[in-house]
């Protein structure tokens, strides 16, 4: 569905951002794309969406080359960037202008999602708050029913009830034919939502595996003094908690924040535990 082979990309001549980056993504999954500031998350998403072009390498999305920006490709993918400017029109006018680009757009769903997010549809889009604008765009993106939905930091600026509604809507709208990619720093917002975790570090993909696989190979637990090779640890009121290799074979609930910490601190050990497929 999305295949990236040897992607080399740069903004300026003297510095490559990605060099020979490989990534394969399948339908039926919600992918969480994580990485520190400047890791290249947005740049990768722009390359997948055909808004930035590779220097070398191949990107194939649904059989299309994104940089060709064929109309049938553009109507199969919806990309919600982290920041956007909305025109001074109301939601109905926005719907009329933009929904015709997406053949599977469902107006009823759009209004249902807006209701779920408590959005008043009569206001001008330019006059509502940033969080409300984000909710309108999330509702629109979901209602497009495109095969691929990419959201860059969608929960930034959402209040706590809206984050929970976001999780509910995303979970209810993924299907076997669709693929969602959500890039975020707000890893807590993504817990119990993502199926597969992709982590970018030093402009490389250091992890791309399922939450299930992570739960089987790593143990997220209260640390014991005899635990060796602690991949990440943190002091809490319950004691020291963290991540170790799962040697006992007992599955634990994945803590994505701790997983991220483990990958940042110990990527060589993570590479050994999760060998790359490409």
Ligand X SMILES: Nc1ncnc2c1ncn2[C@@H]1O[C@H](COP(=O)(O)OP(=O)(O)OP(=O)(O)O)[C@@H](O)[C@H]1O
The residue range among 37-45, 163-171, 206-214, 215-223 that interacts with ligand X, by the rule CB under 6 A, is 37-45
Query: Interface with ligand X includes 41 (CB under 6 A)?
Result: yes
> Is the distance from CB of 126 to CB of 91 less than 8 angstroms?
no
In the complex, least distance from residue 87 CB atom to ligand X, rounded to whole angstroms:
23
Give the H or E element holding residue 58.
strand 56-61
Non-local CB neighbours of 57 within 8 Å, separated by 6+ positions: 4, 5, 6, 7, 8, 9, 20, 21
Cβ closest to ligand X, residue 39 vs residue 158: 39
Q: Which residues pair with 59 in a beta bridge?
A: 4
Distance CA 150, CA 86 (A): 18
Cβ closest to ligand X, residue 4 vs residue 39: 39
Q: Could you please report the per-residue DSSP string of 87-130?
A: -SSBHHHHHHHHGGG-TT--HHHHHHHHHHTT--TTSBGGGS-H
Rounded to a whole number of angstroms, the CA Rg of the chain reads 20
The residue range among 31-39, 90-98, 123-131, 268-276 that interacts with ligand X, by the rule CB under 6 A, is 31-39
Torsion of CA 149, 153, 159, 164, to 10 degrees: 50
In the complex, least distance from residue 164 CB atom to ligand X, rounded to whole angstroms:
23
Query: Interface with ligand X includes 11 (CB under 6 A)?
Result: yes
Cβ closest to ligand X, residue 17 vs residue 25: 17
In the complex, least distance from residue 169 CB atom to ligand X, rounded to whole angstroms:
23
Contact pattern for ligand X over residues 43 through 82, marking x by CB under 6 A: x---------------------------------------
Work out which of 2, 4, 7, 17 binds ligand X, going by CB under 6 A. Answer: 17
Non-local CB neighbours of 273 within 8 Å, separated by 6+ positions: 217, 218, 245
In the complex, least distance from residue 174 CB atom to ligand X, rounded to whole angstroms:
23
Cβ closest to ligand X, residue 39 vs residue 138: 39
In the complex, least distance from residue 40 CB atom to ligand X, rounded to whole angstroms:
4
Cβ closest to ligand X, residue 80 vs residue 125: 80
> Is the distance from CB of 278 to CB of 22 less than 8 angstroms?
yes
> Is the distance from CB of 186 to CB of 36 less than 8 angstroms?
no
Distance CA 225, CA 78 (A): 49
Query: Interface with ligand X includes 42 (CB under 6 A)?
Result: yes
Query: Interface with ligand X includes 201 (CB under 6 A)?
Result: no
Cβ closest to ligand X, residue 80 vs residue 91: 80
Footprint of ligand X (CB under 6 A): 11, 17, 35, 37-43
């Amino acid at each position: 569905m999305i295949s990236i082979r040897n992607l080399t990309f740069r903004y300026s001549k003297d510095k490559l951002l990605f060099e020979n980056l490989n990534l394969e993504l399948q339908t039926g999954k919600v992918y969480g794309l994580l990485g520190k500031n400047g890791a290249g998350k947005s740049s990768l998403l722009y390359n997948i969406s055909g808004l930035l072009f590779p220097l070398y390498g191949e990107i194939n999305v649904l059989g299309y080359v994104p940089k060709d920006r064929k109309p049938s490709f553009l109507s199969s993918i919806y990309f919600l960037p982290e920041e956007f400017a909305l025109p001074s029109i109301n939601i109905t006018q926005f719907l009329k202008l933009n929904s015709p680009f997406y053949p599977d757009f469902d107006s009823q769903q759009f209004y249902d999602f807006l209701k779920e997010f408590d959005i008043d549809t009569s206001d001008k889009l330019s006059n509502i708050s940033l969080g409300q604008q984000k909710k309108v765009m999330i509702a629109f993106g979901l209602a497009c029913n495109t095969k691929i939905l990419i959201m860059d930091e969608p929960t930034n600026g959402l209040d706590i009830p809206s984050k929970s509604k976001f999780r509910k809507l995303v979970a209810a709208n993924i299907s076997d034919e669709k693929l969602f990619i959500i890039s975020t720093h707000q890893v807590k917002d993504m817990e119990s939502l993502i199926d597969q975790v992709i982590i970018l570090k030093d402009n490389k993909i250091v992890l791309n595996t399922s939450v299930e696989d992570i739960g089987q190979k790593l143990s997220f637990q209260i640390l014991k003094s005899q635990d060796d090779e602690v991949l990440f640890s943190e002091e809490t009121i319950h004691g020291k908690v963290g991540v170790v290799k799962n040697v006992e074979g007992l599955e634990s609930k994945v803590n994505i924040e701790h997983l991220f910490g483990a990958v940042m601190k110990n990527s060589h050990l993570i590479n050994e535990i999760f060998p790359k497929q490409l």
